[in-house]
Amino acid sequence: MRNIFERVKQWNTLTRIWHLYDAKWQDPFDSAKVIQKYLKGLHKPIYHPLADCGDHVVVINCKEIAMRGDEWRKRAYFHHTGYAGGGTYTLAWELHDKNPLMIMKKAVYRSMKGNLQRRYTMERLHLYAEENVPQDIIENISSVIPQLRDVPMRLDRMPEDQVKGYPKIWDLPKDYVVR
Amino acid sequence: MLRSITGMNNGLSFMKQMLLSANVRCFSVAAVNRVKEIIVTKDNKKTIIEGILKPSDRVNLLLDPPADTNHEACSICRLDVDIKHTDVLILSQFMRSDGGMLPRRVTGLCRTQQKRMSKLVTMALKAGLMPNLAPANSKRDPARRDKFKKNHRYFDESTIRPPFRMKYPEDRSLH
């Protein structure tokens, strides 16, 4: 053991770390690819499929996920009850109305290979629709997974002097009637 | 102004310069662009409609064009920056207060950039990034929109057709 950092590195590898991920304005399918690596422990040097070295990931703001372009109404989720004629297709926005956690959960579940370990790995995923997380979960968190996309700023929420004082790239023509 | 004074010595070159400068947008400190504001005041039995000329509030905030600028390029080709649909501070400069896009004869952009800007504005409006620029009957809050429109959406600028990403060709004479 060379120094204190090496020691901490070893603790982080051999213990279960709790990571926080803010899903606000994030694509659930891109995020799932990142989250599943932490759940399986792929980011650790000692990773082996049989070594139980995966971490916990707490995902907050699942209600605020963003999808690209038309995907909210183009993506359909299929479910079959098992009875004849029991198949249903639910659009992504309809599913999100019913359960704001389901799209994120299915995205992570599908990003992993279907083996016996998958159900146990999913147990380490903790999803929350909003920012309020129970205290006993918050206490464990010691790491943050960086967001994949910047959260865009809304024009009406920017300070007014910043909007008015921002450099203009062209001027209105003479005799333009302001509307 | 400099163009016309030097051109006065020779009538032919003056005409030539007049023709050449037809499409050139002048950027100078001295010229003040004025915009017109129409004010409607209603008294009893009397309605006064007056148009007031006032200096544009953009005058002091205008970006200086780069030293090696090509004056035939439009204001966005000249900047040579990659504008995204989340850059609402730039996109809102091309919009009216009711959320409409200003026409090309007002913005003075080239055909390519006008098309690209209008697509970016559409993306930003669909993503609900400019809810304050909307018609009077708008709900304003994107979360109150109908069905799939109420959820967050983002867009990929590479889905805009390739000619619109074309950059202005470099000036070979400088190298």
Partner-chain contact B36 A168, CB within 8 Å: no
In Å, how far from its chain's centre is CA B56?
14
| In chain A, domain spans | 5-165
Question: Looking at the partner chain, which of A68, A72, A175 has a beta carbon nearest the beta carbon of B156?
Answer: A68
pLDDT in tens, B71-93: 778 888 888 788 999 999 999 99
Pick the CATH number of A5-165 from 1.10.760.10, 3.90.1180.10, 3.30.465.10, 3.40.50.2300: 3.90.1180.10
Residues in A 60-89 with any Cβ partner in B closer than 8 A: 64-69, 72-73
3-state SS string for A33-83: HHHHHHHHCCCCCCCCCCCCCCCEEEEECHHHCEEECCHHHHCEEEEECCC
For residue A141, give the H/E element and its range: strand A141-144
Report yes or no on B134 lying in a domain.
yes
Report yes or no on B59 lying in a domain.
no
Range(s) of the domain holding residue B99: 71-166
Report yes or no on B16 lying in a domain.
no
Q: What is the pLDDT of residue A90?
A: 97
Of the spans A172-176, B15-19, B52-56, B135-139, which averages the highest pLDDT? B135-139
Report yes or no on B38 lying in a domain.
no
Q: What is the pLDDT of residue B172?
A: 57
Q: What is the pLDDT of residue B34?
A: 77
ipTM here: 0.88
CATH number of the domain that residue B154 is part of: 4.10.640.10
Report yes or no on B111 lying in a domain.
yes
What is the count of structural domains for chain B? 1
Report yes or no on B95 lying in a domain.
yes
Q: What is the pLDDT of residue B13?
A: 45
Q: Is the pLDDT confidence value at A147 over 80?
A: yes
Q: Is the pLDDT confidence value at A67 over 70?
A: yes
How sure is the predictor about A155, in pLDDT bands with cuts at 50, 70 and 90? very high
For residue A163, give the H/E element and its range: helix A160-165
Q: What is the pLDDT of residue B101?
A: 94
Report yes or no on B80 lying in a domain.
yes
Its pTM stands at 0.80
Q: What is the pLDDT of residue B50?
A: 87
Q: How many CA atoms lie within 13 A of B80 on its CB side?
A: 11
| Residue in the structure block whose two tokens are 């913005």 | B107
- DSSP state at residue B148: G
Residues in A 7-26 with any Cβ partner in B closer than 8 A: 25
Residue A142 CB neighbour total at 10 angstroms: 11
How sure is the predictor about B16, in pLDDT bands with cuts at 50, 70 and 90? very low
Phi, psi of A139 (to 5 degrees): -60, -30
Report yes or no on B56 lying in a domain.
no
